[in-house]
Amino acid sequence: SSKMSGLYEADYGTAYYRSNDPIKNLQLRVILKRVSASFTDDNSQPMTVAEGGVELRTLRKGQKDKLNDVQECVIGWQQKIFCQREIDYYSKPENCQNVMDRKYNQDVTLLLNKKKHKNMIFSYVDHDKFSHQQEGVYSMTNYLESPSPLSVKMGQVRCRRMGGRQLKEKEQGSIPKTLIVDEEPSDEAKLRNHLEAPPIQVMYIMADLSPPDRPADESDEYVLCTLKVDANGVLSIRPDFTNGRKPYSIEAFRTRESFDYLIENVSKDMNRQEQEKEFRMYKEMYSRHNDFVQSCVGHEFELPAVDTMRLVVFGEIVSAQDFENDNLYVHMFADLPKNWTAERKQQLSWVTQTCATKTTDQTEIAYFSYPFNFELTYKKNQLTANTEDEFIQFPRLMIEVGAIDLWSRHFNEGYSYIQLPAKPGIYTEKAHCWRPVGNSVIDNLRRFFIGGTPEVEDPTYAAVPSTFDGTYLSKFGFRTQSTGTVTARLNIMWQSRAFMETKANKRSLGSLLENLGITAMQANITSVLEAFKRARMKMVQAREAATQELLREVRPIVKGELDD
């Protein structure tokens, strides 16, 4: 029973609707009824809507309906309906200052000629003054509430375009003919100059609850319904359509009279022929748009040549940490092994900006966030392919870290490299750097005072030198010192015509790579080595943690303890 009563209660919240139809087809029916002069009667019967019209029953037994007690009005989107106060105001030509005021003067003159009765239900449209400034002042709760200054200011912050000449001046820019600085700007000028607004249209359905024997006043105008439509076609309405629930209630402040009102959606539905016509129109429009997109993109995406593989890398040099000096920069280039090529205009070398370090968890870190990308092509040379035991090497990113001080002295902070993984995917790689050291203390003094640092002649010496053509690589006798770590993030993608045959021939990735000269065993070597490195690092960290814990548990010997 509680759920059923909740469904029957009036919903004063905001409801949102989305429709593909033009908003101009929206029509609302509002029924306003005067319930009592002070409080509602317990014997009152709810309002019902009949097929031929609206049947409204009075509150007290034996009392007949009056014309001014009930009013029904069907309102379209942005349809202007005048209240008595607006009729009195716009009927005077001296009050009409702009084009819209003069148009309202003509409409009001026609109404006066027809001698229509007073409207309790009227509307404010998007270009009315109420929709721009005064909407935040009106409250829909009760007359005892007094809004705070903050709520009044925030209520006037409207996220919508003002429209007309003011909007064109704001978008295109204009040179004022008077002083640029406005010492005392108006509230409208503040809202116009300080707000960035998306296109939103508003409309208000109002009620004029002024007594018949008194002149109409703005304080007797109350908001019955607020409608807003944004550029995406989303309609917000507050409160929601009645939809069989109890009517909404509102109380006049001056007369203490109570009113009930209903809000119904009476928009005309499309018949079957119109729906089919609209469906065919949308289908034709989508078909033309699809043809246009295909003409721009083409029937096929760009594919690499036959028996080749394209390697695309989108990477980022994230950070560098634990280096000796400050103001670091990173020089990096791609080292291409055999059978790997790149276009002539392809950039394969990058230098980051100079970055000062910051302390994070007792670690000096320089954040570069330097993006880079390159594209390579692999093709196995059938003439030079000797045996199947020859492993295909993937490219490397050679890294050289430098530093510069206030006196423009350059320091070499370390060398390292990053081996591109043998599988596509997203990777975060860390390159542990080292720098060469001299054989005497003079080299350290030269580095400290004048910035002279031993450097390697070939940067590829950090991995496998480009001039090496032997079987075993030995670097014994070369003295180095461990420095810091460079972190990089890699996004790797492979593209090949051979990958298109996976579904048709049900071939595995390993067989496809073997056709390109990349064996399945080689594709797993890099991942195995990386796993071994990670496991070794975990063992070293665990051993260091255990040693520190053991040292903390050892209690120092107090003097005289051994004598006892």
Determine phi and psi for 520, rounding to 5 degrees.
Answer: -65, -35
Tokens matching residue 11:
């919903």
- Residue 69: which of 79, 81, 56 has the closest Cα? 56
pLDDT band at 525 (very low <50, low <70, confident <90, very high): low
> Please, is 332 exposed, middle or buried when counting C-beta atoms within 10 Å of its C-beta (0-12, 13-18, 19+)?
buried
Amino acid in the structure at residue 76: G
Q: What pLDDT, on a 0 to 100 scale, did the predictor assign at position 417?
A: 95
70 and 260 in contact (C-beta within 8 Å)?
no
Question: CA-CA distance, 287 to 274, in Å (whole number)?
Answer: 20
With cut-offs at 50, 70 and 90, classify the pLDDT of residue 87.
Answer: confident
State how far the Cα of 163 lies from the Cα of 170, in Å rounded to an integer.
10
Residue 409 has pLDDT above 80, yes or no: yes
Q: For the segment 27-39, what is each residue's pLDDT rounded down to a tens digit?
A: 999 999 888 754 4
Segment 159-168 mean pLDDT: 44
Q: Which helix (H) or strand (E) holds 504?
A: helix 502-505
b/e per residue, 303-324, with b = 16+ CB within 10 A?
ebeeebbbbebebbbbbbbebe
Q: Is pLDDT above 80 for 189? A: no
Residue 517 has what pLDDT?
A: 56
What percent of the chain is modeled with pLDDT above 90? 22
Residue 497 CB contacts under 8 Å (≥ 6 apart), including other chains: 303, 304, 306, 307
Q: How many CB atoms lie within 10 A of CB 395?
A: 20
Specify the 3-state DSSP secondary structure of 451: coil
Spatial separation of the C-alpha atoms in residues 177 and 159, rounded to whole Å: 28
pLDDT of 203 above 80: yes
Radius of gyration of the chain (CA): 40
Q: Worst-scoring range by mean pLDDT, 60-64, 267-271, 291-295?
A: 60-64
Q: State the CB neighbour count (10 A cutoff) for residue 204.
A: 21
For range 86-108, the mean pLDDT: 86
Instruction: Give the C-alpha distances (Å, rounded to integers) separating 185 from 180, 190, 532.
Output: 11, 7, 70
Among 433, 110, 441, 36, which residue's Cα sits nearest to residue 259? 36
The fold of the 308-518 domain, in CATH, is Immunoglobulin-like (2.60.40)
Give the pLDDT of residue 220. 84
CA 355 to chain centre: 29
Residue 117 pLDDT > 70, yes or no?
Answer: no
Q: Which residue has the higher pLDDT, 298 or 169?
A: 298
In this structure, what DSSP letter does residue 338 have? T
Asked whether the predicted pLDDT for residue 402 surpasses 90, the reply is yes
Give the model's pLDDT for residue 104: 87
> In b/e form, how buried is each residue of 351-371, taking b as 16+ CB within 10 angstroms?
ebeebebeeeeeebbbbbebe
Q: Is the pLDDT of residue 390 over 70?
A: no
Output the DSSP codes for 380-396: --TTT---TTPPPPPPE
DSSP string, 282-307: HHHHHHHHHHHHHHHH-SS---PPTT
pLDDT at 288: 92
Quick one: pLDDT at residue 313? 96
Label residues 245-271 b or e (16+ Cβ within 10 Å = b): bebbebbbeeeebbbbbbbbeeeeeee
Give the CA count within 13 Å in the CB-facing half-sphere of 157.
Answer: 9
Of residues 428 and 548, the one with the higher pLDDT is 428
**pLDDT level of residue 368 (50, 70, 90 thresholds):** very high
439 CB contacts (<8 Å, ≥6 apart)? Answer: 479
Q: What is the pLDDT of residue 558?
A: 57
The residue among 127 and 509 whose pLDDT is bigger is 127
**pLDDT beyond 70 at 521:** no
Q: What confidence category does residue 107 fall into, taking pLDDT thresholds of 50, 70 and 90?
A: confident
Per-residue pLDDT, averaged over 78-84, amounts to 88
Please say if the pLDDT value at position 149 is more than 50: yes
Coil, strand or helix: which one is 274? Answer: helix
Give the chain's length.
Answer: 564
Exposure pattern of 110-128 as b/e (b: 16+ CB <10 Å)?
eeeeeeeeebbbbbbbbeb
Give the model's pLDDT for residue 271. Answer: 82
Average per-residue pLDDT in the chain?
Answer: 77
Question: If pLDDT is split at 50, 70 and 90, which confidence band does 544 have?
Answer: confident
Bridge pairing between strands 258-265 and 27-36? antiparallel
So where are the chain's domains? 2-58+68-83+119-265, 270-299, 308-518
The reported pLDDT for the residue numbered 157 is 54
175, 177, 182, 183 alpha-carbon torsion, rounded to 10°: 150
Residues 441-498 have pLDDT tens digits of 777 777 777 777 788 888 888 888 888 888 888 888 888 999 999 999 999 999 888 7
Q: What is the DSSP string of 19-33?
A: -SS-GGG-EEEEEEE
The most confident of the ranges 2-16, 158-172, 189-203, 480-494 is: 480-494
Task: List alpha helices for 77-210, DSSP H.
Answer: 84-90, 99-114, 129-132, 149-155, 164-172, 187-194
For residues 235-261, give the mean pLDDT: 87
For the segment 240-256, the average pLDDT, to the nearest whole number, is 85
pTM over 0.85: no
Question: Is the backbone of residue 439 left (phi > 0), alpha (psi -120 to 50) or beta?
Answer: alpha
pLDDT of 420 reads: 93
Question: Is 220 in a helix, a strand, or coil?
Answer: helix
The confidence score (pLDDT) of residue 171 equals 44
**What residues contact residue 428 under an 8 Å CB cut-off, 6+ apart?**
318, 487, 488, 489, 490
Q: pLDDT at position 507, please?
A: 54
* DSSP track, 63-116: PPP-TTTEEEEEEETT-----HHHHHHHTSGGG--SHHHHHHHHHHHHHHHHTP
The percent of residues above 70 in pLDDT, for the chain, comes to 71
